[in-house]
Amino acid sequence: MKIVVSRLDEFPPGERRIVQAGRRSIGVFRVGDRFYAINNHCPHMGGPLCLGRTKPWVSSTGPGEYAMAEEEALVACPWHGWEYDLETGQSFLGPGEPPARAYTVSVEPRVEEGTVAADQVSAPEPGAKGGRRPGPYVTETYPVHVEDAYVVVETSPSPAVKPDPVGGAS
């Protein structure tokens, strides 16, 4: 099913629209020249996800150093702050849900100032994005495109991918 969201010229960058598709509520966000559509239901506790604040990605190369993306691509649920990537629907830990990690502490020989000991460098976790740890929830996303100067959301399920026949099955 295609849902016409808005005329393109009436949907400026930084804006969002919430549309109904039957029982579904879908938030459509315009970030620069890109569009994202995401389910307006937080998988964590059912909050109105698309009414939350949007945020840019923040990345860090080390303590005290950070860079913010120029465009916002995260939305935080207004109920509990769970953050979701607008592109993938992947959740990230919210401000009220910081992970509690324990670290081993030991006394080591002195390391020259400005250097980092090899055992202090850790590899990023699988699925980490922008230094953030993926959360347990993923919300539904939808393809969005511009068709004849209208922003359109596609809610039809994607066709199932058929596996290749093995060994030339007949």
pLDDT digits (tens, 9 = 90+) for 10-27: 999 999 999 998 888 999
Q: What's this model's pTM, rounded to 2 decimal places? A: 0.67
Measured distance CA(122)–CA(159) in Å, rounded: 40
Report how far Cα 41 is from the mean position of its chain's Cα atoms.
14
- Predicted confidence (pLDDT) per residue in 114-128, tens digit: 655 555 555 556 667
76 in Cβ contact with 52 (< 8 Å): yes
10 in Cβ contact with 4 (< 8 Å): no
Q: Cβ-count burial of 35 within 10 angstroms (0-12 exposed, 13-18 middle, 19+ buried)? A: buried
Positions of E strands within 63-160:
65-76, 83-85, 90-92, 134-138, 141-142, 144-147, 150-154
